[in-house]
Structure 1
């Protein structure tokens, strides 16, 4: 049963990410996110990477507290956040922005659709008027052309 808690939290994190991206990163947290929208940012790390820490702290705390108390469900909540963070890293930093030389040539329609939606997000370089704030679930229109070819 607790595995469903982890899965539910993983799915809920997409909503949290969308809201955080739209209202925090493109809102009062723009000072941390802005360098992520600069083309060809020359550094290995971006200020935007601070959001990794922001999400990792509650995950680590929940895992630690849940493993060391009678509230084991907290461990599985933290695990759901952790698994989403891993998925976010692999999809956003590795696949989409190719910050590492892994998975450069994918033919998967779903992954191509995610890349396209994120490119649309970055088409607008500023804080305002962006779209496609999700990471794993984006509007279906970005998958259509790739789904037909597979």
Structure 2
């Protein structure tokens, strides 16, 4: 049952991420997200990186609370959120934005589709008119464009 809670939470996070990205990051917290689009930051860190803390603190709180109560469902919900955050870091920061220069030459249609959709998202430098707010699942057209090449 605990594994199911982690998996369901992980997959539900994609919808939560889409909503948060579109309505919070491109909404009232655009001031934190803007430098991720317009590259106005200097150095390796962006104001956008504060979202790591904004999302990690509740997950850590859930795991802590759940651990105090016999590792109940709160712990496993927090674990699912944390695992999604780890996937986000690996795919978004390392693979897509190449903060660590590895996995540059993939042939995976799935990874190439995610990278292309993210580039499409970043072609809009303002907070309006964005597209592709998802992370692990993006419109099928981005996967199809690479399926033909395999």
Normalised TM-score (structure 1): 0.96
Alignment of 1:1-150 (within 5 A): 1-39=1-39, 41-70=41-70, 72-150=72-150
Partner of 2:148: helix, strand, or coil? helix
Single out whichever of 39-48 and 127-136 deviates more from structure 2: 39-48
Partner of 2:106: helix, strand, or coil? coil
- 2: CA distance, partners of 1:92 / 1:40: 19
Uncovered stretches (5+) of structure 2, i.e. residues with no partner: none
Please list every run of at least 4 consecutive aligned residues from structure 1 whose deviation after the TM superposition is greater than 2 angstroms. Answer: 39-42
Normalised TM-score (structure 2): 0.96
RMSD: 1.2
- 2: CA distance, partners of 1:63 / 1:100: 29
Single out whichever of 39-48 and 116-125 deviates more from structure 2: 39-48
- 2: CA distance, partners of 1:5 / 1:54: 22
Q: How many residues align?
A: 150
- 2: CA distance, partners of 1:116 / 1:70: 43
Uncovered stretches (5+) of structure 1, i.e. residues with no partner: none
